[in-house]
């Protein structure tokens, strides 16, 4: 790697985060709220990208991790009256445990088998949400508008419904996920994960326990996804079964493919483009998914590495 690459990468990441932070002061109300949601979902995609983009493992059950964080945090607030931060902490702990448990089982398989196993676990999580409806309220879900108490820091109180607080909380979440992802990829562990993606057998021959590295990657991936789910529940005051359905596992796959698999900024770019693409086309026609699908096909044909992957290939080879 170019010796200047880490410095360039740090400057780029800092520039992106500063830009996103300053953007809140110029965006109109609608786009202000939209960007809050995009940053939370992009954090979810960052977690997914660690597994697919840097370790080479494709999961179709990541909605399970997102919804685990969401439901544990939401239930702690709705049923047990906890405030936001303790509920978030419990959601994070449970998500770490679930990620490790699922990884310990799923990583006994590989390739298509791993894809199917994660899909089965994801569907099990969705059916569990429907079955334990005394806690989850089934398909309808529940809102946290009345139950969620404001966040108190010293003598200052912050309402989770305040647009400015939402934006800054979403920005902080994305900053943490982006920085962790970048530090991981530039670290020796990240290099091993990339080696596993490229050639797992050769990595094993070099003496690395690839199972443990993949378990670490899946645990971190699931944890970041669950953290995004917990924050989503608190900021948008809704917990619903739709976030555990399979389409919510496919969504981060589309976002990372569009933005660039194996690029740290790809999840943000892909999530933003997809969100606005659906938003704009749905205002024109009820058949917006047909238009979105056609546009995505053209984008994938034109840039098979994703948009950030194309930029890396042509202009910024040092981009992680």
pLDDT in tens, the chain (320 residues): 444 577 888 899 999 999 999 999 999 999 999 999 999 999 999 999 999 999 999 999 999 999 999 999 999 999 999 999 999 999 999 999 999 999 999 999 988 999 999 999 999 999 999 999 999 999 999 999 888 898 988 778 899 999 999 999 999 999 999 999 999 998 999 999 999 999 999 999 999 999 999 999 999 999 999 999 999 999 999 999 999 999 999 999 999 999 999 999 999 999 999 999 999 988 888 888 888 888 888 888 888 888 999 988 888 787 77
pLDDT recorded at residue 155? 79
Q: Residue 192 to residues 77, 157, 249: CA-CA distances in angstroms?
A: 40, 44, 26
Give the pLDDT score at 300. 80
Predicted local confidence at residue 3, as pLDDT: 47
SS (H, E, C) 238-265: EECHHHHCCHHHHHHHHHHHHHCCCCCC
CA 236 to chain centre: 16
Gap between the Cα atoms of 235 and 162, Å rounded: 9
CB 268, CB 259: distance < 8 Å? yes
Tell me, what's the pLDDT at 4?
A: 53
Residues 6 or more apart whose CB falls under 8 angstroms from that of 312 comprise 260, 263, 305, 319
Rounded Cα distance between 43 and 230, Å, is 11
């Amino acid at each position: 790697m170019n010796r200047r690459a880490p410095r360039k990468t740090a400057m780029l990441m800092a520039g992106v985060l500063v830009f996103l932070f300053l953007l809140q002061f110029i965006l109109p109300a609608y786009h202000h709220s939209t960007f809050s949601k995009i940053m939370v979902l992009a954090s979810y995609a960052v977690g997914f990208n660690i597994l697919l983009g840097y370790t080479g493992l494709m999961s179709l059950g990541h909605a399970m991790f997102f919804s685990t964080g969401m439901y544990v945090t939401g239930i702690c607030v709705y049923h047990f009256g906890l405030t936001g931060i303790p509920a978030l902490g419990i959601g994070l702990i449970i998500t770490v445990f679930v990620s490790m448990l699922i990884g310990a089982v799923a990583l006994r398989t590989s390739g298509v088998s791993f894809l199917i196993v994660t899909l089965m676990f994801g569907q099990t999580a969705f059916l569990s949400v429907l079955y334990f409806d005394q806690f989850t309220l089934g398909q309808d879900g529940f809102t946290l508008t009345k139950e969620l108490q404001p966040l108190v820091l010293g003598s200052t109180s912050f309402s989770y419904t305040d647009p400015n607080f939402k934006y800054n909380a979403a920005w902080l979440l994305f900053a943490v996920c982006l920085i962790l992802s970048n530090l991981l990829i530039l670290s020796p562990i990240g290099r091993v994960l990339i080696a596993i993606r490229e050639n797992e057998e050769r990595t094993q021959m070099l003496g690395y326990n690839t199972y443990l590295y993949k378990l670490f990657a899946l645990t971190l991936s699931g944890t970041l996804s669950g953290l995004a789910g917990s924050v989503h529940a608190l900021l948008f005051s809704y917990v619903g079964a739709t976030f555990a359905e399979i389409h919510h596992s496919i969504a981060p796959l589309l976002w990372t493919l569009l933005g660039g698999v194996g690029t740290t900024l790809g999840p943000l770019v892909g999530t933003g483009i997809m969100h606005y693409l659906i938003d704009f086309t749905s205002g024109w026609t009820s058949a917006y998914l047909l238009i979105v699908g056609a546009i995505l096909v053209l984008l994938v044909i034109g840039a098979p590495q994703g948009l950030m992957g194309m930029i890396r290939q042509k202009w910024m080879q040092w981009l992680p």
